[in-house]
Structure 1
Amino acid sequence: MPRPRLALVPGEPAGVGPELCVRAAQRAWEADLVVFGDRGSLQRAAAALALPLAFAAADAPAAPGVLPLVDMPHPVAARFGTPEPGNAASVIAALQAAAGACLRGDCDGLVTGPVHKATINAGGIAYTGTTGLLAAQAGREVVMMLANAIVRVALATTHLPLRAVADAITVEGLQRTLRILEAALREEFGIAAPRIAVLGLNPHAGEDGHLGREELDVIAPALAALRAQGMRLSGPLPADTAFLPQRLRECDAVLAMYHDQGLPVLKYSDFAHAVNLTLGLPYPRVAVDHGTALDLAGSGRADPSSLFAAIEACTRLARHRRHA
């Protein structure tokens, strides 16, 4: 089987993304990387780290110290720690160009660095996150899942105010999310019969309606219908005990009802090696699970573990998808 070719996007040029890509370029990987980014930002990062960096044509094989590059120039030279709204359009263009390469089949997967949302919006682009951007470009419904070696946590809702979460959880929405999650576990993770633990919304999973009826009226009916179609689902489960080690051994992924119900557990378990996956796209997309770290940019102290984990995960997913 040929080596996967992965598109790599540094993200915010004033943050740690470019230097993490430079660190990735020093290693040999089981996939060929091609960076969609600004040559000058990468060169400045390499100089700050005192690491060797040469560029090659986009279709060239990668080698330690060499990055195949699709140059996406930023109109304003980036300064470490100081995002520039004038670069917003080029940051988004790099993401779209890399995703377009995946949609065309030129690349087998997409790895993305951190983007500074406020700066993108200050640059005049309505932007709520890369997940939504890629979903719209591909015309697909998607699911956000974060993962490390300990647990995989998918989200029924993402970046919503807490008071809006209950209204956003519907039978149809849960079933759509679970179908996308189950298909991704089969096709990209190679799990023949995935087991998914589904959390309740309320404390103690509603305690038979005494602490809320969402479990009885929405979550349980959605699960029952999917179980009748052969899906292996447990729940709705109380969130306070669902992440016990023995419970996690009994499932392949957990579906949390909202962002801060599941992700604090995942990040506590192993934040450095956690990655963010977008499920439902026609290609694997894996992102780092941290922000732009503007205060660390250019210092050489940024930990590349999450980017390295993202590259390794995207390589595995690309291979599983080919096999499937």
Structure 2
Amino acid sequence: MIRLGITLGDPRGIGPEIVGKALNDPRIAALGTSWFVLGPSGTGVAVHDDLGPWPPEADRASHGGTWVARAGALAGLAVERATRMALAGELAGMVTAPLDKYALRAGGYDYPGHTEMLSALANVPVAMMLASSRLRVVLATTHIALRDVPQAVTREALAQAYHTTARGLRDDFGIAQPRIALCALNPHAGDHGRFGSEDDELLAPVARELGMHGPFPADTVFVRAMRGEFDAVIAPYHDVGMTAIKVASFGSAVNVTLGLPFIRTSPDHGTALDIAGQGVASAESMVQAMELAHALALRRRSRGRLDR
């Protein structure tokens, strides 16, 4: 039986709620997967690795105050422990409920998010992909300020994103010859230098060298991918890629970390502190993340890359 971890994320948010709902969903029960839940007790979800109590009074101060650092510390510790178990072969991978980046840092984990944290803990380069039945988007740069993007979009960053994406599509998604498009950095791909020279001088040569298609303007490349022309689009920065996939498939897309020696998936949304504790959060993206983690684990096992 495949064994996968689930981290509860920030206990102030909707993570525990959507995990509880997903575990009770008939689609998840039908998978036959063994789920190992890591997180604090007291959230309403039974945990297998209890990282400490989340007190009832914390709910009343869930949007700030002294509980921010505590929440971030618990969320980070769950990811840290799940990673250790996955690297040791005790888990095939993990599905991570959302964490709050501010709280994560306040809790002693100075990472911009899950992706960067997992890369550091596993000591491997990774790529962040959001995938749905309609579109797959990979980021060449992740959680950085927009003003820092032009300096971060380098040949090395683009090449690493391409190679990690191509390998992930081949190995985990069964696409023998992935068709990968590169989204331009500037409007209209720079319009021959009128709106910037990066697309002509950097992105286009890298695309030719590596066998990518493009660069194509952001206002067309995602539409072309949704029509089946490409298997994935590499976006140069966070918001252009995330906006496309979330407009196309919000609530059903799944965050996949490519390049790890184990599987990691996550819902396509954040902690939703504004609706936490009300019982109204949709667990659909969490269900999709768990289903995809199971499918990827089955594929790895069938290829001899997984013995658990």
Structure 2 residue corresponding to 1:95, chosen from 79, 101, 109: 79
C-alpha distance after superposition, 1:170-208 (max 9, x if no partner) = 112211110001000111111111110111111111222
C-alpha distance after superposition, 1:259-318 (max 9, x if no partner) = 111211211112011111111110111111111112222211000011001001111111
1:133 aligns with 2:117: yes
> Structure 1 counterpart of 2:59, which letter?
R
State how far apart, in whole Å, the 1-side matches of 2:63 and 2:188 are. 45
Structure 2 residue corresponding to 1:79, chosen from 27, 37, 59: 59
Cα distance, 1:111 vs structure 2:
0.2
Aligned residues: 294
Structure 1 residue corresponding to 2:135, chosen from 135, 151, 155: 151
Other-structure match for 2:150:
166
State how far apart, in whole Å, the 1-side matches of 2:164 and 2:170 are. 10
Cα distance, 1:76 vs structure 2:
4.9
* SS of alignment partner, residue 132 of structure 1: helix
* Alignment check: 8 A CA contact 1:76 1:87 kept: no
Cα distance, 1:256 vs structure 2:
0.8
With over 3 angstroms needed to count, the CA separation of the structure-2 counterparts of 1:247 and 1:237, relative to structure 1, is: farther
Other-structure match for 1:23:
21
Other-structure match for 1:292:
271
Other-structure match for 1:37:
39
* SS of alignment partner, residue 44 of structure 2: helix
Other-structure match for 1:221:
205
- Mark the runs of 5 or more structure 2 residues left unpaired by the alignment: 304-308
Cα distance, 1:98 vs structure 2:
0.9
Structure 2 residue corresponding to 1:261, chosen from 240, 263, 274: 240
> Structure 1 counterpart of 2:253, which letter?
A
Cα distance, 1:321 vs structure 2:
2.2
State how far apart, in whole Å, the 1-side matches of 2:72 and 2:145 are. 26
State how far apart, in whole Å, the 2-side matches of 1:320 and 1:286 are. 15
The normalised TM-score by structure 1 is 0.85
* SS of alignment partner, residue 42 of structure 2: helix
* SS of alignment partner, residue 52 of structure 2: coil
Cα distance, 1:138 vs structure 2:
0.4
Other-structure match for 1:121:
105
- Mark the runs of 5 or more structure 1 residues left unpaired by the alignment: 44-54, 56-67, 228-232
State how far apart, in whole Å, the 2-side matches of 1:148 and 1:40 are. 33
State how far apart, in whole Å, the 2-side matches of 1:238 and 1:295 are. 35
> Structure 2 counterpart of 1:79, which letter?
D
Superposition pairs for residues 45-64 of structure 1, below 5 Å?
A: none
* Alignment check: 8 A CA contact 2:38 2:82 kept: yes
> Structure 2 counterpart of 1:40, which letter?
G
Other-structure match for 1:12:
10
Structure 2 residue corresponding to 1:320, chosen from 278, 287, 299: 299
Cα distance, 1:20 vs structure 2:
1.2
Structure 1 residue corresponding to 2:280, chosen from 301, 311, 321: 301
Cα distance, 1:87 vs structure 2:
3.9
* SS of alignment partner, residue 205 of structure 2: helix
* Alignment check: 8 A CA contact 1:74 1:90 kept: no
Cα distance, 1:156 vs structure 2:
0.9
1:186 aligns with 2:185: no
Other-structure match for 1:106:
90
Cα distance, 1:115 vs structure 2:
0.6
> Structure 1 counterpart of 2:39, which letter?
G
> Structure 2 counterpart of 1:182, which letter?
A
